[in-house]
A = this chain, B = another copy of it.
Amino acid sequence: MDVETPALLLDLDAFERNLDLMATFVQGRSIQLRPHAKTHRCPMISWQQIARGAIGICCQTVGEAEIMVKSGIKDVLVTNQIVSPGKARRFASLAKFAQVRCCLDHLDQLRILDEAAKVCGVQIEVLVEIDIGNGRSGVAPDDRAVELAAAVNQSGNLQFVGLQAYYGKAQSIRRYRERRAAVLDAVQEIRKTMDLLKKRNLNCQIVSGGGTGTFDIDAELGILTELQAGSYAFMDGDYLKNDADAHDLFPRFQPSLFVLASVLSYPISERAVVDVGVKNVSVDCGLPVVFGRSDVTYYGANDEHGRLNVESKANLAVGDRIWLIPGHCDPTINLYDTIIGFRNLRLEAIWPISARGASH
């Protein structure tokens, strides 16, 4: 690959295969795909997912949603709360261009969003986020969720349409059985909330959640209407640690995303240094894994340097290229301005990561 390093590379064959596998998987099942764009922040990738049948996308921030709507995408769910009046107005204004929804778990957010929708002259559909075991955001999956949903419908400019029920912790439970058991427990919480909503005649059309770690279980259990998986397109080192399902019935996604490094220094036979450190690859879910060769191991990350253990008979020289599988794709992609797509080791496409840094 004739590019300067560090570079963020995408194996287009593997990437397209991953997209196809997931698109085929959800066909004929009672779940639709709404892939999370927080993973890649790249409209060119969202468009390829939509072309394969995704009903829309998820975003995590208003900044991401703005860029995705500006790129022409017509259906965006912000899987998060909005608490600043200015941001709420920026979000509400997007409703003039696309179907945009967001999540609430508190009356204060409701008031801010309702006011913003009023100012912008739009109606906004919202999901109530419930905590199904994740221990982060979300109102309790009981009467409190129902009260919040009722309050949404009593507001002037918002409408309750469903539940946000993401279970991040379950995504990285390594063993399939335990992962499935965790999702089963969570589903009970969702079902309980749905029953309470029904009693109050609150119409829950959407239940959105799930991810790359649990997509097969989410689909099997049939309670989610929307699957928010994002990482399946790339498969980082962290997700690759998960066991597959027991019978291997479901698609196995392959790593498609790499960080290309160069050997800067090879001072002693056991150690080499590459130009990829924490500014070039995220280490919050483990160090990157060297791809395609077993004689070198990435063992330590500094800001702009990575240290490699080199085995005694390794064939390695200053200037050599090393392919790394990132431990965690989302924050790694956010370090780059472009994704370089290649096929058969030849450059084919450069896609801007248009929403890189769009956290605010």
Q: Which of B83, B86, B139, B267 contacts A105 (CB under 8 A)?
A: B267
Query: In whole Å, how far is A31's beta carbon from the nearest beta carbon of chain B?
Result: 23
A331–B304 CA distance with the chains assembled, in angstroms: 9
Q: Which of B105, B168, B319, B357 contacts A265 (CB 8 A)?
A: B105
CA distance A310 to B215 in the complex (A): 33
> Across the interface, which residues of B come within 8 angstroms of A139, CB to CB?
267
A337 within 8 A of B: yes
Q: Are A359 and B284 in contact (CB under 8 A)?
A: no
Within residues 308 to 360 of chain A, which ones have a CB less than 8 A from any CB in chain B?
317-319, 328, 330-331, 334-337, 357, 359-360
In the complex, are the beta carbons of B60 and A6 less than 8 A apart? no
Q: Contacts A61-B304, A305-B137 hold; do A81 and B265 have CB atoms under 8 A apart?
A: yes
Tell me if B5 and A84 are in contact (CB < 8 A): yes
Q: Once the chains bind, are A87 and B265 in contact (CB under 8 Å)?
A: no
**List of B residues within 8 angstroms of A307 by Cβ:** 135-136
Shortest distance in angstroms between A318's beta carbon and chain B's nearest beta carbon? 4
Size of interface on A: residues with Cβ below 8 Å to B: 62
Assembled-state Cα–Cα distance A198/B330 (Å):
51
Bound-state CA distance A334–B280 (Å) is 10
CB distance from A158 to the nearest CB of B (A): 16
A360 touches B105 (CB 8 A): no
Q: Bound complex: CA of A72 vs CA of B116, how far in Å?
A: 45
Q: How far is the CB of A305 from chain B (nearest CB, A)?
A: 6
CA of A107 to CA of B330 in the docked complex: distance in angstroms?
38
Q: How far is the CB of A59 from chain B (nearest CB, A)?
A: 10
Q: Given A7-B360, A38-B304, A359-B275, verify A137-B83 contact (CB < 8 Å).
A: no
A26, CB-defined interface residue at 8 Å: no
Q: Mark A136-179, 1 if CB is under 8 A from B, else 0.
A: 11111000000000000000000000000000100000000000
How many copies of the shown chain assemble into the complex? Answer: 2
Q: Which of B264, B331, B336 contacts A303 (CB 8 A)?
A: B331
Residues of B within 8 A of A317 (CB): 108
Which residues of chain A (194-242) have a CB below 8 Å from chain B? none
Q: Does A98 sit within 8 A of B, measured CB to CB?
A: no
On chain B, the residues within 8 Å of A61 by CB distance are 275, 304
**Cβ of A118 under 8 Å from chain B:** no
Docked-complex contact A137 and B4, CB < 8 angstroms: no
Which residues in A have some Cβ–Cβ distance to B below 8 Å? 4-7, 38, 60-61, 80-81, 83-84, 86-87, 105-106, 108-109, 112, 129, 131, 135-140, 168, 262-268, 271, 273, 275, 278-280, 282-284, 301-305, 307, 317-319, 328, 330-331, 334-337, 357, 359-360
- Contact sample, A vs B, 30 pairs, CB 8 Å cutoff: A4-B84, A4-B86, A5-B360, A6-B359, A7-B360, A81-B265, A83-B318, A105-B265, A105-B267, A106-B265, A106-B267, A106-B318, A108-B318, A112-B319, A135-B271, A135-B307, A136-B307, A137-B265, A137-B267, A137-B273, A138-B267, A139-B267, A140-B268, A168-B302, A278-B282, A278-B284, A304-B359, A335-B335, A335-B357, A337-B357
